[in-house]
Amino acid sequence: MTLTPRAGRPLKVLAAMSGGVDSAVAAARAAEAGHDVTGVHLALSANPQSFRTGARGCCTVEDSRDARRAADVIGIPFYVWDLAERFRQDVVDDFVAEYEAGRTPNPCLRCNERIKFAALLDRALALGFDAVCTGHYATVTTAPDGTRELHRSADAGKDQSYVLGVLDQRQLAHALFPLGDTRATKDEIRAEAERRGLAVARKPDSHDICFIADGDTRGFLAGRLGTAEGDILDEDGEKIGTHDGAYGFTVGQRRGLRIGRPAPDGKPRYVLDISPVANTVTVGPAEALDVTVLTAIRPRWCGAAPAGPAAYTAQLRAHGGETPVVAEPTDGGEGLRVRFERPVRGVAPGQAVVLYDGTRVVGSATIATTERAGASRV
């Protein structure tokens, strides 16, 4: 969606303002372009003090105040919307359940899908707004046939299209990303915020999971799932250590295994598999992590679903690189099979695989199983 008002008519824009610099500048740009902008801060915790404190750009009382001050400088109305219960159910509870099942979720991707571009967008449209504006680094364009396309940001270091790969055509039609549209880097955004008099210009970015106050994911999960001692096994099934809960591990993990004895060859060992039923964690050498094929579920397409196998590039982590693949829908469109041209490592069930055609985001799906060089594992 362009920043230019349509046929001279400004859009009614709801700007999601986290309290950070990106969303503040995005809201300011939308207002400067002539749109009728209203700022909103999403209260995502029933007790915001329980989330991290300090200038982190997400989920704290300080952040809501920073967002309000930015709205005052921009000169737009500002509200706080309570989405704490929806956030708990759709993001936090989902996060815990996925780890309990031995999978590795991405809560930011889930928040974009279910909160910012579902709960928030639905409420915005019901109130007569035309679009939701956020500070994501990505670009939305219109194809010749009128469909909306999601593309990478020009600043590769800040690109956030991976966590937006869950958006469908309806959501893209009402999405406004002013930062990606203008090819700005993060340093330029901060300089612009200073010129606009926004106090958040030098506020640190938030990098961790917003609802885990101290960044201790394993401790957070233990507080909700309890401890459950189990075995750490080598590839031959021999017990070489114990753990306090299989949920505290992820495929590809190297640190924190607490294995008393080294591997026979002296090389580091990595988590290869997690079995929540048996409550075991299997470890082995790095080369045992080589994945050649994955299957995924719940595909979401930014446009039309592919009709058959096609060549793309795939991204497997929010800050990961791209790798060439051939992907095709399966199970009547309910699944996806992705074959890698070269083996990749550290692919964990529960993560998202996002497909790209050049800079265009084709769609995403949740990884269900992987096939490894010489073996097949779930």
Range of 236's domain? 228-288
Domain containing 42 — which CATH number?
3.40.50.620
Instruction: Report the domain count for the chain.
Output: 3
Sequence-distant contacts of 234-241: CB under 8 A, at least 24 apart: 234/263, 234/269, 234/282, 234/283, 234/284, 235/272, 235/282, 235/283, 235/284, 235/288, 240/283
361 and 318 housed in the same domain:
yes
Of 310, 289, 314, nearest to 370 by C-alpha is 289
Looking at the fold, whether 116 and 238 belong to one and the same domain comes out as: no
- When pLDDT is cut at 50, 70 and 90, the band that residue 19 belongs to is very high
> Is the residue at 184 inside a domain?
yes
Q: Which residue has the tokens 């992590």?
A: 289
Angle, CA of 70, 85 and 125, to the nearest 5°: 60
**Same domain assignment for residues 282 and 301:** no
> Confidence class of residue 2 from pLDDT cuts 50, 70 and 90?
low
Please check whether residue 348 lies inside any domain of the structure.
yes
pLDDT tens profile 163-198: 999 999 999 999 999 998 666 777 888 999 999 999
The amino acid present at 371, given as its one-letter code, is E
Q: Which domain CATH number covers 281?
A: 2.30.30
In a domain, 214, yes or no: no
Outline where the chain has alpha helix (H): 21-32, 61-74, 84-87, 93-100, 107-111, 120-126, 169-172, 178-181, 186-195, 217-225
Instruction: State yes or no: pLDDT of 50 exceeds 90.
Output: no
What pLDDT is stored for residue 349 in this prediction?
94
Q: Is 210 a catalytic residue?
A: yes
Most distant CA atoms of the chain, gap in Å: 72
* Inside any domain, residue 208: no
1 part of a folded domain: no
Among 301, 374, 360, 375, smallest CA distance to 336 is for: 301
Question: pLDDT tens across 312-334, in order?
Answer: 999 999 888 999 999 999 999 99
Is residue 378 pLDDT above 50, yes or no? no
**Whole-model pTM above 0.85?**
yes
208-257 per-position pLDDT tens digit: 688 887 788 889 999 999 999 999 999 999 999 999 999 989 999 988 88
Please tell me the predicted confidence (pLDDT) of residue 59: 62
- 136 and 111, same structural domain? yes
- Of 108, 111, 133, 302, which one is the catalytic site residue? 111
In the chain the first and final C-alpha atoms are separated, in Å, by: 40
| Nearest 10 degrees: Cα torsion 119, 120, 125, 127 | 110
d(CA 344, CA 7): 48
Residue 318, pLDDT score: 86
pLDDT per residue over 84-136, tens digit each?
899 999 999 999 999 999 999 999 899 989 999 999 999 999 999 999 999 99
Residue 210 included in any domain: no
333 phi, psi to nearest 5 deg = 95, 0
Together in a domain, 237 and 177 = no
Do 173 and 275 fall into the same domain?
Answer: no
Q: Give the dihedral of Cα atoms 208, 212, 215, 221; nearest 10 deg.
A: -120
Based on the fold, state whether residues 283 and 250 are members of the same structural domain: yes
Residue 213 placed within a domain: no
3 is a domain residue? no
- Give the per-residue pLDDT at 8: 58
Q: Give 268's Cβ-side CA count (13 Å radius).
A: 11
- Same domain as 177, residue 49: yes
The answer on 267 and 310 residing in a single domain is: no
Asked whether the beta carbons of 271 and 250 are under 8 A apart, the reply is: yes
Residues contacting residue 160 through CB under 8 Å, at least 6 positions apart: 136, 137, 138, 153, 318
- The answer to whether 108 is a known catalytic residue is no
Q: What is the pLDDT of residues 359-370, one digit of tens each?
A: 999 999 999 999
